[in-house]
Structure formats: structure tokens, C-alpha cells
Amino acid sequence: MKKEVLETLKHNKGRFISGEELSNRLGVTRTAVWKHIHQLKEEGYRIESVSKKGYKLLEEPDILNENALQLDLDTKIIGKRIIHLNTIDSTNTMAKKIAAEDGEEGTIVIAEEQTEGRGRLGRKWVSPKGTGIWMSLILKPSIEPTEAAKITQIAAAAVALAIRKVTGCEAGIKWPNDIILERKKVCGILTEMSAELNCVNYVIVGIGINVNGDMEAFPEDIKKTATSVKASAGKTVSRKAIVLYILREFERLYLDFIQSKSLQKSVEICKKYSVTLGNPVKIINRDRQIVAEAVDLTEEGELVIRNQKGELEKIISGEVSVRGISDYV
């Protein structure tokens, strides 16, 4: 019911709507209306209450809970259920548990803070409270396990588009899983999977974005290579607007991938905004380090490099460091 109260206030934003009208429209008592308004205020909604006039929504807080997001979300599956938490060890870990217990495709876990946020290979992802987007998407695609890594490219395309659209900042994609602003990492994507030999049980796509974080407060080593959306945009940015855009774009590209069995639409975006292509790169794969030039992405989303002998090679995964990007080693 709180959702309906909020919805009605939003439709009448900036105008008063009386307690009586709200209670008639929604079929609840005026006391119930008052209680929901009180809860919304506690969540950070600025609502003016004037006796005889009623309630007026002045400002919405930048919160990422189910009520706030779903009222503005027009996706079919992604975000159908949103689990929003104040604090969690890792949204990917929680998403895995939910997925294993029959969690539906499209369910999302979002936290205000992660105490043990993870990157690839057991590395840490710093996720301070209230300033970023720390979220994981649960997917259950009918694809071969070997196809699952492609979903990282879909997420990268969706995040780059979202940051560009919401802020006008020129977000770039560092193949395969980082989003870059002004040569520094603003977002990391961690895709994890549970699969049998030839069937996927679930895929979890973890997306961590530094939105309004104070980069000065980050650990010294990360400060050198990391940035926030706010630092580039020069102002505080709505996390909600970015989340909504990501979910919409992700759904569009993901459904296209599943239906057409082609990654082409996402690859086009990843190519267009790539900060990798055309640059010297170092690739670390197990014990081997290759120095090469990144030349292309295939239709399957693999990186094509020209090695030092002038031969073309396809890279499916690995640690890539790109000359010109701040974490170049």
C-alpha cells in the first residue's frame, strides 16, 4: 500500500492531495494513509503536510529500494523482484544463494554497502555506504556454459550507455569487464556462473559503480586507478537514474542475445566505446604475458590482438592492461 500512496503522490508531485482523497482512492483509512506518509518521510521523501490541504511531495530521495525503482521501471523481467539491503557481505554471494533456491530470473539484489565486495580472482571490491551502485542480477538463460561469459559484454554495454545517457560523460569500455572514465576505472563487472556440463543453472552479473563516492577516502592503491561518476560529471548524480537505465538497456540487449543467439548488438556498443581497441595492451593469461596491439572484437565478443610477430590471435578471457589507462602495468 505504501507503494500506491507513493505512486499517487508522484502523480500529483508539487500539488496537495488531501488525506481524504488518498484514503478514498486507495480504499484505506486516513490513519493508514498517515502511517504510510510517515514511513515515506523516514525513508527520506520530502512531503509537506498542511492541515485541511493534505500532502504534497516535494522531493524524492536517491534510494534504490523496490518501491522507488519499480514505479519508474518498464522492463518485463529484469527487476521484477528487487531485494534492497542496507548492508551485505557481497551482493553476488547473496544472489547466488537466492538463485540456487529457485530465485526467479530477473531478480536483483542491491545493497547500500558491501563489507566483502568481490572482484575477479578473489580480489576485493571497495563498496562504501550509500555512494555507489552495488548490485547483482540473477539470470537463468538456456545457453551453453561456454556462452555465459558473453553476458559480461552485455552488462558492459548497458553500463556505458547508462553513464553516457544520464551524465553526458564519455564512459569507455575496457575489455572485457571494466568501465572507464577519464582513464580510470569507475565500474567493474563480475560474472559468475553455476553450470552442469552442458547446461547453465544460473548466471550472476555483479555490477559495482562508484557514483557519488569520495575518492579521497578510498585506499591509497585504488585511488590511483579508480574514479567516480561524480568526479567526472562535476556534480552529484542520481544513482536511481543510472540503475533504471542499466536495467532497461540490459534487458533489451539480453533478450536480443537470447532470442537471436547473437551478441552483435552488444558487440557494436562495446566496439564503439572501447578504450582497448587500437591501443598497445599487455595480456596476462596464467603464466604467460603477451605484449600486443588490440585490433578488434569478434562477433562473439572475443578480443583480437596482433602479437609481436604480426599474427592475429583471439583472446577469450584474461587480464588485460591497456596503455593509457591508469592501471597499466
In whole angstroms, the minimum distance from the beta carbon of 238 to ligand ADP comes to 19
Nearer to ligand ADP, 17 or 325 (CB): 325
| Range 60-92 burial, b when 16+ CB lie within 10 A, else e | bebbbbbbbbbeebebebbbebbbbbeebebbb
In sequence order, what are the beta bridge partners of 51? Answer: none
Nearer to ligand ADP, 178 or 251 (CB): 178
Nearer to ligand ADP, 26 or 290 (CB): 290
Contact present, 223 and 210 (Cβ < 8 Å):
no
201 known ligand binder: no
130 lies in the binding site for ligand ADP (CB under 6 A): no
Contact present, 302 and 317 (Cβ < 8 Å):
no
Measured distance CA(140)–CA(143) in Å, rounded: 9
90 known ligand binder: yes
Q: Which stretch binds ligand ADP (CB under 6 A): 4-12, 87-95, 124-132, 154-162?
A: 124-132
183 known ligand binder: no
Q: Which stretch binds ligand ADP (CB under 6 A): 25-33, 89-97, 107-115, 183-191?
A: 183-191
226 lies in the binding site for ligand ADP (CB under 6 A): yes
Nearer to ligand ADP, 126 or 233 (CB): 126
First to last CA, the chain: 54
Site for ligand ADP in 7-36 (CB under 6 A): none
The sign of the torsion formed by the CA atoms of 112, 239, 156, 214 equals negative
185 lies in the binding site for ligand ADP (CB under 6 A): yes
206 lies in the binding site for ligand ADP (CB under 6 A): no
79 lies in the binding site for ligand ADP (CB under 6 A): no
210 lies in the binding site for ligand ADP (CB under 6 A): yes
- Contact residue for ligand ADP among 152, 177, 212, 266 (CB under 6 A): 177
Nearer to ligand ADP, 52 or 288 (CB): 288
Give the distance, in angstroms, between the CA of residue 207 and the centroid of all CA atoms in the same chain. 4
- Contact residue for ligand ADP among 45, 55, 125, 175 (CB under 6 A): 125
120 known ligand binder: yes
In whole angstroms, the minimum distance from the beta carbon of 286 to ligand ADP comes to 14
**40, burial (CB in 10 Å: exposed 0-12, middle 13-18, buried 19+):** buried
172 lies in the binding site for ligand ADP (CB under 6 A): no
Phi, psi at residue 267, to the nearest 5°?
A: -60, -40
Contact present, 230 and 212 (Cβ < 8 Å):
yes
- Contact residue for ligand ADP among 54, 188, 206, 301 (CB under 6 A): 188
Pairing assessment for the beta strands 46-50 and 54-59 based on DSSP bridges: antiparallel
Nearest to 176 by CA among 210, 203, 143, 149: 149
113 lies in the binding site for ligand ADP (CB under 6 A): no
Measured distance CA(231)–CA(180) in Å, rounded: 12
Binding residues for ligand ADP, how many (CB under 6 A)? 16
In whole angstroms, the minimum distance from the beta carbon of 181 to ligand ADP comes to 11
**What are the strands, taking DSSP E only, across 159-250?**
172-174, 178-181, 184-195, 200-210
Helices (H), ranges, 87-213 = 91-100, 150-167
Positions touching ligand ADP (CB under 6 A) are 119-120, 123-126, 177-178, 185, 188, 190, 208, 210, 222, 226, 319
- Binding residues, as ranges, are 90-92, 114, 118-120, 185
